[in-house]
């Protein structure tokens, strides 16, 4: 059906924006579901016992606590406490907001890189129902501050390449620095925007390679030299990262100093590597790939009922993503499809951080970033088939993902369980117990 001429500008703009209304609708539903029972349990669970006292110290500006991690995640928890009180709602609300923002940023990044409505919506649905993103949006830990800011950074990175505007490079660097200020997990990924800029500029300057550092009249972002890009994607994120330590300069005891800021980073690394005491739910990277060793964040009688929170990946999509990732690798190499090959690189970079990391005590939630790219790979493969007219795989995958999310919802959200051993209903494998 032809579009009336007077509606043509509106239609053109809508196509440029992609499925923005549906994206906002999905993010809103996700946010509302996250808020349901957010204050249960009413007492700290799992690693909240470390981060809540540290957030209180930030409010009081008394002294350092939990010094092995950067401050942004704890600053967000402290902000929630100041806004809503030192209670379960105040502890967890900031991460609920961050989880929704990160989901939005990820979907927009998918749109601007793929220009596929199907891939964008499928990715949003799969990420929202992969369990990990949902659970980390409902607990006062540091991981969602890191992941959501990285998601926003990748959105702005995609916009910079799509629109060729400097402002998006600046915003990308801002969110990169904030992601680093949440946790260090994303370091291997945060170097990739700058490396890709350098590579694209090198390719664009065939015959003019001597101008590699200074040329401004070629892509990926016109008007920006490689030297300037290094500022926005290298130096600027570091400045933002260091700015997140600002409250530490005002501690009453052992305040941070400019002279001590750099040495403090080495001390943080030393503290992280010093955690060697075995934990019941510690695991290794290869177990994460196959969804073998989750974590019980909570399982006890609390708030008048038996309740639990199982940090587990969606039993279907987390496994279905593996062959999808291999298909992306095949297409990336055979067709030189940089988006699909890029997702494989991102997945491997996020996972190799832990595979080569000397930290002996690791947990399944460290798979959060890699799992996000896994969902993106699955969405792209399904969207390709959808656009080719083969739509039942997408419908089937989406339906199974949602059904499993609904089925596991009580054990993902600290719902009321019927009996003390209800965990048996959800722990399909012995290693899940």
Judged against a pLDDT cut of 90, whether residue 82 lies above it is answered with yes
User: Where is average pLDDT lowest: 315-329, 358-372, 412-426?
Assistant: 358-372
Using 50, 70 and 90 to split pLDDT, how confident is the model at 15?
Answer: low
Long-range CB contact pairs, 288-291, < 8 A, 24+:
288/313, 288/351, 288/364, 288/366, 288/367, 288/370, 288/371, 289/322, 289/351, 289/367, 290/319, 291/315, 291/318, 291/319
Classify 288 as helix, strand or coil.
helix
Q: Residues 124-148: pLDDT tens digits? A: 999 999 999 999 999 999 999 999 9
Using 50, 70 and 90 to split pLDDT, how confident is the model at 270?
Answer: confident
Q: How many whole angstroms separate alpha carbon 240 and alpha carbon 146? A: 13
Sorted by where each begins, the domain ranges of the chain are 19-247+280-432
pLDDT of res. 17: 67
- Terminal CA-CA length for the chain: 56
DSSP state string for 352-383: HHHHS---S---GGGGHHHHHHHHHHHHHHHH
pLDDT of res. 341: 94
289: closest CA among 364, 183, 376, 189? 364
Q: What is the mean pLDDT of the chain?
A: 92
Only one residue has tokens 């015959």, namely: 207
pLDDT of res. 209: 84
Using 50, 70 and 90 to split pLDDT, how confident is the model at 84?
Answer: very high
Q: How many whole angstroms separate alpha carbon 311 and alpha carbon 217? A: 49
Q: How many whole angstroms separate alpha carbon 58 and alpha carbon 80? A: 12
Q: Which are the contacts of 289, defined by CB distance < 8 A and separation ≥ 6?
A: 322, 351, 367
Which neighbouring-strand residues pair with 103? none
Averaged over 97-114, what is the pLDDT? 97
Q: How many whole angstroms separate alpha carbon 121 and alpha carbon 410? A: 25
Judged against a pLDDT cut of 50, whether residue 41 lies above it is answered with yes
Q: Which are the contacts of 179, defined by CB distance < 8 A and separation ≥ 6?
A: 145, 146, 147, 149, 150, 153, 186, 190
pLDDT of res. 8: 44
pLDDT of res. 9: 47
358, HSE (Cβ side, Cα atoms, 13 Å): 6
pTM comes to: 0.93
Q: Residues 274-311: pLDDT tens digits? A: 766 766 777 888 899 999 999 999 999 999 999 999 99
Q: Which are the contacts of 185, defined by CB distance < 8 A and separation ≥ 6?
A: 143, 146, 350, 353, 366, 368, 369
Q: Residues 375-393: pLDDT tens digits? A: 999 999 999 999 999 999 9
pLDDT of res. 16: 62
Q: Residues 160-184: pLDDT tens digits? A: 999 989 999 999 999 999 999 999 9
366: closest CA among 279, 425, 262? 279
| Tokens matching residue 310 | 């199982």
Q: Residues 209-227: pLDDT tens digits? A: 888 899 898 889 999 999 9
């Amino acid at each position: 059906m032809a579009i009336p001429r007077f509606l043509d500008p509106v239609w053109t703009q809508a196509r440029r924006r992609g499925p923005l209304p549906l994206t906002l609708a999905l993010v809103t539903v996700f946010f509302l579901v996250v808020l349901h029972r957010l204050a249960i349990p009413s007492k700290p669970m799992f690693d909240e016992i470390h981060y809540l006292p540290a957030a209180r110290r930030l409010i009081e500006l008394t002294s350092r606590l939990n010094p092995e991690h950067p401050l942004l995640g704890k600053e967000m928890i402290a902000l929630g406490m100041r806004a809503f009180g030192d209670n379960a709602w105040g502890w967890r609300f900031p991460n609920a907001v961050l989880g929704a923002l990160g989901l939005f940023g990820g979907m927009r990044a998918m749109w601007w890189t793929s220009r596929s409505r199907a891939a964008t919506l499928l990715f949003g649905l799969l990420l929202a129902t992969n369990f990990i993103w949902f659970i980390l949006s409902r607990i006062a830990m540091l991981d969602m501050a890191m992941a959501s800011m990285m998601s926003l950074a990748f959105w702005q990175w995609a916009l910079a390449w799509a629109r060729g505007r400097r402002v998006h490079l600046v915003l990308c660097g801002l969110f990169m620095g904030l992601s680093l200020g949440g946790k260090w997990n994303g370091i291997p990924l945060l170097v990739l925007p700058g490396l890709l800029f350098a590579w694209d500029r090198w390719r664009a300057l065939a015959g003019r390679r001597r101008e590699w550092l200074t040329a401004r009249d070629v892509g990926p972002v016109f008007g920006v030299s490689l030297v300037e890009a290094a500022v926005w994607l290298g130096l600027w994120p570091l400045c933002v990262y260091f700015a997140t330590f600002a409250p530490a300069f005002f501690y009453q005891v052992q305040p941070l100093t400019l002279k001590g800021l750099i040495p403090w980073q080495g001390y943080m690394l030393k503290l992280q590597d010093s955690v060697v005491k075995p934990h019941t739910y510690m695991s290794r990277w290869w177990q994460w790939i196959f969804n073998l060793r989750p974590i019980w964040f909570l399982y006890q009688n609390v708030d008048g009922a038996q309740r639990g929170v199982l940090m587990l990946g969606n039993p279907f999509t987390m496994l279905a993503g593996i062959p999808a990732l291999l298909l992306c690798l095949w297409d990336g190499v055979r067709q030189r499809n940089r988006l699909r090959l890029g997702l494989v690189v991102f997945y491997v970079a996020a996972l190799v951080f832990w595979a080569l990391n000397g930290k002996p005590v690791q947990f399944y939630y460290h798979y959060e970033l890699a799992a996000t790219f896994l969902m993106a790979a699955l969405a792209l493969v399904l969207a390709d088939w959808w656009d080719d007219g083969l739509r039942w795989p997408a419908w089937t995958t989406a339906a199974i993902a949602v059904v499993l999310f609904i089925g596991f919802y009580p054990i993902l959200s600290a719902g009321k369980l019927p009996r003390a051993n209800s965990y048996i209903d959800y722990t399909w494998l012995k290693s899940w117990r």
